[in-house]
């Protein structure tokens, strides 16, 4: 299957590192012009330098701005006034005992993990509908379905994101625009390494820490390892392509079999 996104413009939020960077790279390799977005111009410029060095033939552009704020959102939309592919990847996570999560933290998780996606969809979906083609994907998590006891505020936000995806898919019905969510399983990123070490111990070597975490906290995984960001990106690139024209309103799992269900 040869995926060709030449002529398409993609915007990936939270794409300076981790899963977002892998998605941006994958879309660019398929031929799309990809806007890389992060909170600061410095982080975006550093990411672009790495990406261009790795893929000199790919086309990237800078779209810095903190989209959890009005000014940052406007900054990103000014940099990318039109997009054919929107990937809402920005998200925060972190462990917290359930009874210690205060109102401010509940609001923060909703603002960053849910409302930023809603804001971006409102900005770009109308243009996609007018042009009769578009792809929107919200990067969710296995935590949306299997709420983790150590960070229920994160699970709540990702569950809400599934509802956002399904609802906007209905708004886009019949327009040629597909809206989906991608349920990513436990994925190996720098942030996750910090998270895992915070739970199993800072002095534990990564390979041992990863095995301990998966065995004790994610035993349902059928691949019994962390997923690599590129594995998430492969699914996102496919869903961004013309081949995925009949897939919309769905929650697609790239979770290593973690969610114990035969229904996607």
Residues 6+ apart with CB under 8 A from 251: 140, 144, 162, 165, 166, 180, 181, 182, 183, 264
Across all residues in the chain, what is the average pLDDT? 96
Calpha distance 157→144 (Å, rounded): 7
| Domain 9-187+227-254 belongs in CATH node 3.40.50.720 | yes
Residue closest to 58 by CA, chosen among 39, 30, 85? 30
Mean per-residue pLDDT for 196-203? 92
Mean per-residue pLDDT for 89-99? 95
Given a contact cutoff of 8 angstroms between Cβ atoms, the answer to whether 92 and 17 are in contact is no
Mean per-residue pLDDT for 221-234? 95
Is 80 exceeded by the pLDDT of residue 127? yes
Mean per-residue pLDDT for 58-76? 98
| pLDDT band, residue 191 (cuts 50/70/90) | confident
C-alpha distances out from residue 45 to 16, 52, 60, 79, 247, Å:
9, 10, 11, 14, 34
Active site residue 154: yes
Using the 8-state DSSP alphabet, how is residue 100 labeled?
A: G
Q: Give the pLDDT confidence score for residue 264 in this predicted structure.
A: 74
Rounded to 5 degrees, φ, ψ at 181 are -115, 150
| pLDDT band, residue 263 (cuts 50/70/90) | confident
Mean per-residue pLDDT for 75-99? 97
Among the listed ranges 25-29, 74-78, 208-212, which one has the minimum average pLDDT value?
Answer: 208-212
Residue ranges per domain, the chain? Answer: 9-187+227-254
Given a contact cutoff of 8 angstroms between Cβ atoms, the answer to whether 126 and 86 are in contact is no
Q: Kindly list the strands in the beta sheet with 59-62, ordered across the sheet, starting from the edge strand earlier in the chain.
A: 59-62, 33-36, 9-12, 85-88, 134-141, 177-184, 251-254
Is 90 exceeded by the pLDDT of residue 170? yes
List the catalytic residue out of 154, 217, 238, 258: 154
Q: Do you know the residue count of the chain? A: 264
């Amino acid at each position: 299957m040869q995926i060709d996104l030449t002529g398409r413009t993609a915007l990936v939020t939270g794409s300076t590192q981790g899963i977002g960077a892998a998605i941006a790279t994958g879309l660019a390799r398929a031929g799309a012009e990809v806007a890389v977005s992060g909170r600061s111009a410095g982080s975006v410029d550093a990411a672009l330098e790495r990406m261009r060095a790795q893929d000199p033939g790919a086309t990237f552009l800078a779209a810095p701005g903190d989209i959890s704020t009005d000014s940052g959102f406007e900054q990103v939309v000014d940099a990318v006034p039109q997009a054919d592919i929107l990937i809402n990847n920005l998200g925060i996570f972190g462990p917290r005992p359930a009874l210690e999560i205060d109102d401010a933290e509940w609001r923060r998780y909703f603002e960053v993990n849910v409302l930023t996606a809603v804001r971006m969809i409102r900005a770009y979906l109308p243009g996609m509908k007018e042009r009769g083609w578009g792809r929107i994907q919200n990067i969710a998590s296995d935590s949306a379905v299997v709420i983790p006891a150590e960070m229920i505020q994160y699970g709540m936000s990702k569950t809400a994101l599934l509802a956002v995806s399904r609802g906007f898919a209905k708004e886009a019905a019949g327009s040629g625009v597909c809206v989906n969510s991608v349920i990513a399983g436990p994925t190996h990123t720098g942030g996750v390494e910090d998270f895992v070490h915070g739970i199993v111990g800072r002095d534990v070597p990564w390979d041992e820490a990863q095995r301990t975490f998966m065995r004790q906290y994610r035993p349902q995984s059928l691949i019994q390892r962390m997923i690599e960001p590129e594995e998430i990106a492969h699914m996102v690139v496919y869903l961004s392509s013309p081949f995925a024209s009949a897939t919309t309103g769905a929650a697609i799992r790239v979770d290593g079999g973690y969610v114990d269900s035969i229904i996607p």
